[in-house]
Amino acid sequence: MIAGVLIVMERAPLGFGIRWSTQSGDEGRGNANHTANWYKLDDGREFLIHSQSKGTHQLDDWEKVYDRPKCWGVIVVPLGYTQDEHWDVLTKAREYEGMSYDHAAIAKHFLDGVAGKLFRRPIYFFRRFRLKFWKRTDRYNICSWLSCHTWGSIGHRITGMIRGKLRVRWRGSVPQTWRELKKGLLDCELVAPNDWERDVFLHSPDAYRVIREIGRRPKDLGPEWVHKIASDLEAGRDDLIAA
């Protein structure tokens, strides 16, 4: 069995809204607005386990939904994991089937995204906000969190751009403060679909293998995306599973 992640762009108003709201000004334009856990069994059957408005569920005829001109996406496999660990990712994802969708999580991503647009930097204020008397971590199953959490169960982490410690410097008698923007490991509640995309193609490209491209490719897809897709598809699937 092979486990992977479907990273997809949907050419629809909702997809556009998600992409817009999950981009901070310094990150540039992204493509992804949805992720799902992808699996291929030894008998060739493929399916997804992912989160949508009706909750987390298994989708068997996923190609009819995503492999069409109104979408574009890639299936990627995180490298360096054993067959048992791939099964562990599936087992972990099964725990969330049937759980309700957490619309509060979507609202938090949206508010942080709007703030990021205004301040032109990654904002994680609302996503970090928690009410101690309202613990709903079991319901935090938006698509990118589910992919991050299930792969995180075997130690896989997503790299993103985060702000460092507050620094102060003096110009004459006037202090100035700033925070350095740098790469760092993201907690799953902070991860948006765009973070998966950027980790695969920009931050940690050697940690993933693109094994399939679906739908209609955007005409202005970035050179890093185009190069990795071509080189990974040529490399094939021989060494996806660690010994």
Is residue 240 included in any domain, yes or no? no
Confidence (pLDDT) at 81: 97
State the residue range of the domain holding 101: 2-160+187-235
Is residue 199 included in any domain, yes or no? yes
Domain count, the chain: 1
10-residue stretch averages of pLDDT, the chain, 243 residues long: 97 83 66 95 94 86 95 97 97 90 76 80 75 56 89 95 67 64 85 92 96 95 94 94 89
Confidence (pLDDT) at 2: 97
Which pTM does this prediction carry? 0.86
Is residue 173 included in any domain, yes or no? no
- Which tokens go with 203? 């931050």
Give me the DSSP letters along 167-186: EEEEETTEEEEEEEEEEEEE
**C-alpha closest to that of 48 among 104, 101, 90:** 90
**C-alpha closest to that of 207 among 76, 119, 14, 111:** 76
Confidence (pLDDT) at 105: 76
Is residue 140 included in any domain, yes or no? yes
Is residue 176 included in any domain, yes or no? no
CATH of the domain at 226: 3.90.1720.10
- In the beta sheet, which residues pair with residue 38? 4, 48
Is residue 167 included in any domain, yes or no? no
Confidence (pLDDT) at 172: 67
Confidence (pLDDT) at 27: 63
Is residue 165 included in any domain, yes or no? no
